[in-house]
Copies of this chain bind each other. A is one copy, B any other.
Amino acid sequence: MAVYTEVADEELEAFVADYDIGGVTACKGIAEGVENSNYLLQTTTGSYILTLYERRVAEGDLPFFLGLMEHLAAKGVPCPTPVHGRDGKALRRIANRPAAIITFLQGMWPRRIQPHHCGLLGAAMAGMHLAGVDFELRRENALSVAGWRPLFAACADRADEVRKGLAREIEAELAHLEAHWPSGLPDGVIHADLFPDNVFFLGDALSGLIDYYFACNDFFAYDLAICLNAWCFETDGSFNITKARQMLSAYRKIRPFSDSELEALPLLARGSALRFLLTRLHDWLHHPEGALVKPHDPLEYVHKLRFHQSVKGPGEYGLD
């Protein structure tokens, strides 16, 4: 839940007057997203999302994020697109923060994931990957393999507070991934955070892929690896091969992946599990007293990591 910055009514009215979207009729802080402050803005022309970028998002990355949304939306990806002000600019300022108004997407994210959600997700992700191929800006993935050791260094000495032996387990996995991380796989712009709360469905259709604030250039298959972790485990910790199969086979119909990508999937899934384990561990150990967002349990990702360590090949994800 996140509204970190209050926007005064008269300040909002002045801000919206710089757009061609009518007058403000309502504006409510919404309890979604953890990095930024988000408002559901209603005007005489419709609904929008007003996002204020808080300090966890680097201001220099905003042209990449906003440009990407615009690029993808123009290619038919169901994603929000920034609204431009009368002066042509989409990135503006309010309440002393960078801010943008983006279009509102209908739909709800699925609280209980069904296999058909995973199929729709796979197809939409593949379409997004293809649509991003000619996007001209680049952003390195700061949370890929090279970024994990510094992250671990910031919490290694306290990791065993969460579970005895955890520091040693992470150290071993990190060494393995650093030694074996693949190179040369097909790459491009990935979302890098396609958790269920970033995917909207309406009726039987996928209606939105939102929240591009971790998007970056990396292996396409790494996006799939993230989604294997985020979508294909049950709450009891068991891996649901039906969901994985639906996701991967729907993806493959839109963007066929190579054998090397398929072979790399277990390792990428381990990497993705470690990435979320490390960021959750970091937030768990460092979250400030009275924070508005409850940190996620890092141990969920220890469990997922161990599953992928046990995987003998991509067949265990439902594909041969």
Q: A29-B31, A30-B31 are known contacts. Are A42 and B106 too (CB-CB below 8 A)?
A: yes
Name the interface residues of A5-27: CB closer than 8 Å to any CB of B: 6-10, 12, 24-27
Q: A42-B47, A290-B294, A292-B292 are known contacts. Are A29 and B1 too (CB-CB below 8 A)?
A: yes
Convert A265-292 into 0s and 1s, putting 1 for each residue whose CB lies closer than 8 angstroms to a CB of B. 0000000000000000000000000101
Contact of A292 among B1, B7, B32, B107 (CB under 8 A): B1
- Whether the Cβ atoms of B110 and A9 lie closer than 8 Å is yes
Alpha-carbon gap, A110 to B32, bound state (A): 23
Total copies of the chain: 2
What residue in chain B is nearest A24 (Cβ atoms)? Answer: B108
Give the A interface residue count (CB, 8 A).
36
Contact of A108 among B12, B107, B109 (CB under 8 A): B12
Name the interface residues of A197-230: CB closer than 8 Å to any CB of B: 200-202
- Whether the Cβ atoms of A109 and B31 lie closer than 8 Å is no
- Min CB distance A27 to B, Å, is 6
Name the interface residues of A283-319: CB closer than 8 Å to any CB of B: 290, 292, 294
| A contact set with B: CB distance below 8 Å | 1-3, 6-10, 12, 24-32, 40, 42, 47, 104-112, 200-202, 290, 292, 294
The 23 sampled A-B contact pairs (Cβ below 8 Å) are A1-B3, A1-B29, A1-B31, A8-B112, A9-B108, A9-B109, A9-B111, A12-B108, A25-B106, A25-B107, A26-B104, A26-B105, A26-B108, A26-B200, A28-B30, A28-B31, A28-B32, A30-B31, A31-B31, A40-B40, A42-B106, A290-B294, A292-B292
